[in-house]
């Protein structure tokens, strides 16, 4: 069993590198096999096809991000503190796991088989947790217009900041710590009451 897990991990690791460096169209079972040092047939023992292999990478990344979110929830009891920590953790996850982040959120999917519905629902729990904590942090007296919509706005802010950082499009005069802190501050502004537009 240890050998099975080790080969599977090698396949995923080499596919991750190949996918980020060369793009979806340049990933093939044969190329991955050459990088791993096995036969293409061996890869099919673990993954039905190329898309199943890439879906496994997306799922692996989403699960590791979910684990980070769970750690934030466990380390704080106050909802506002949880939300702040979740925002910071999202940014740090993207900064320290750039390949996973690109595959999870930036990989063009036009030619890829759609992510399976059950796996999509599992991945979606990350956004739902942001919505749930944001709703609690706002409190009963300051109801959200829609928790999921507002959480998506926060998610968009964090994703935009992470994407710019990974693309090295942030002014070099701005330190990483300042960039993270100010981005989280902007996200925390969602805890203030929202004036509903007419």
pTM: 0.90
Residues 97-110 have a mean pLDDT of 93
Domains, the chain, in order of start with CATH, read: 1-47 (1.10.10.60), 58-191 (1.10.357.10)
Residue with more model confidence, 143 or 30: 30
Q: Are 39 and 33 in contact (CB under 8 A)?
A: yes
Query: Quick one: which H or E segment has residue 105?
Result: helix 98-105
The 10s digit of each residue's pLDDT in 39-75 is: 999 999 999 999 999 999 999 999 999 999 999 999 9
**Statement: residue 196 has pLDDT above 80:** no
Residues 107-115 have a mean pLDDT of 88
Structural tokens at position 97: 């796991």
Closest CA to 58 of 126, 113, 120: 120
The pLDDT assigned to 1 comes to 38
**Statement: residue 13 has pLDDT above 70:** yes
Q: Are 64 and 89 in contact (CB under 8 A)?
A: no
Percent of the chain residues past pLDDT 90, beyond the cut: 82
In this structure, which long-range contacts are made by residues 135-138, counting pairs with CB atoms below 8 Å and at least 24 apart in sequence?
Answer: 136/79, 137/79, 137/80, 137/82, 137/83, 137/191, 138/191
């Amino acid at each position: 069993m240890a050998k099975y897990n080790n080969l599977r991990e090698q396949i995923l690791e080499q596919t991750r590198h190949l996918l980020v460096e060369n793009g979806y169209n340049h990933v093939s079972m044969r190329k991955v096999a050459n990088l791993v040092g096995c036969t293409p047939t061996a890869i099919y023992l673990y993954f039905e096809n190329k898309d199943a292999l890439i879906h496994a990478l997306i799922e692996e990344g989403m699960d590791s991000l979910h684990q980070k979110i769970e750690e934030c929830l466990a380390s704080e009891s106050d909802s506002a503190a949880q939300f702040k920590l979740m925002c910071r953790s999202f940014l740090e996850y993207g900064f320290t796991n750039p390949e996973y982040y690109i595959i999870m959120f930036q990989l063009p999917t036009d030619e890829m088989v759609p992510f399976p519905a059950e796996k999509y629902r599992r991945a979606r729990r990350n956004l739902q947790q942001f919505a749930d904590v944001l709703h609690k942090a706002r409190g009963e007296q300051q109801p959200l217009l829609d928790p999921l919509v507002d959480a998506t706005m926060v998610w968009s802010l964090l994703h935009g900041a992470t994407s710019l950082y990974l693309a090295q499009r942030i002014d070099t005069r701005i330190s990483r710590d300042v960039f993270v802190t100010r981005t989280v501050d902007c996200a925390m502004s969602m805890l203030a009451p929202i004036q509903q537009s007419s």
